[in-house]
Amino acid sequence: MEFSSFSVWNSLRITQQEVDWAVVIWFPQCIPKHAFLVWLIMRKKLLTQDKILKWGLERRKNMNMMCCLLCYADIDSHDHLFFECKFSAHVWSLVRSKVGMDTVDPKWSSIVNWLMSRRRLKTAASFVERILVGATAYTIWQERNARLFKNQTRPPDSLSEVILTTVRYKLMGMKFKPCASVRRLMGAWEIPDDVLKNDGG
């Protein structure tokens, strides 16, 4: 029998039915570390305080359970952090208009539903929406961890600037066909026409 790494991988891995939301997370233009975090959020696998609370009373007797370090108003659960927390909702409100998501509520379920409704679109704008959501979630999680582990804080406008800059730099490295809609998109992100690749796809 001929050896191949593919056959070994298939014999080791656990396969499950593909979920319908995978397409809005994993796509060629995604930022891998952002996509991985969004995947963890979708599966509710981040180690937030609501997860710790489920470990039981015996294991948390000596734990100092903290409120959300972004708004100090609730325990940081997945739903709270993305983006029902007043702080993260403010960050979301500062960036969502850049991709035409002004009407999308600051709730993870609402954002996912919006992306799912547009998942079959292959437009540059639809890819940018997904990239922005990933960048926003990643930046919020980074801020939460910086406050938890380093005692470092940034205001919402600083985080929104980080998010928009991240997406802009990503766009500058992507290949798009130089059509009218792409030129409008690039103009909205203040990216010059000469960045467009003639061989884009």
Query: Domain map of the chain by residue range?
Result: 33-174
Rounded Cα–Cα distance for residues 17 and 126 (Å): 25
**Nearest by Cα to 80 from 48, 114, 103:** 48
Summarised one tens digit per residue, pLDDT across range 36-81 is 999 999 999 998 987 777 766 545 544 555 789 999 988 889 999 9
Alpha carbons 93 and 87: distance in angstroms, whole number: 10
> Judging by beta carbons within 10 Å of its beta carbon (0-12, 13-18, 19+), is residue 138 exposed, middle or buried?
buried
Does the pTM surpass 0.75? The reply is: yes
Q: pLDDT digits over 88-137, tens only?
A: 999 999 999 999 999 999 999 999 999 999 999 989 999 999 999 999 99
Other beta carbons within 10 Å of 147 = 16
Whole-number Å distance between alpha carbons of 195 and 41:
33
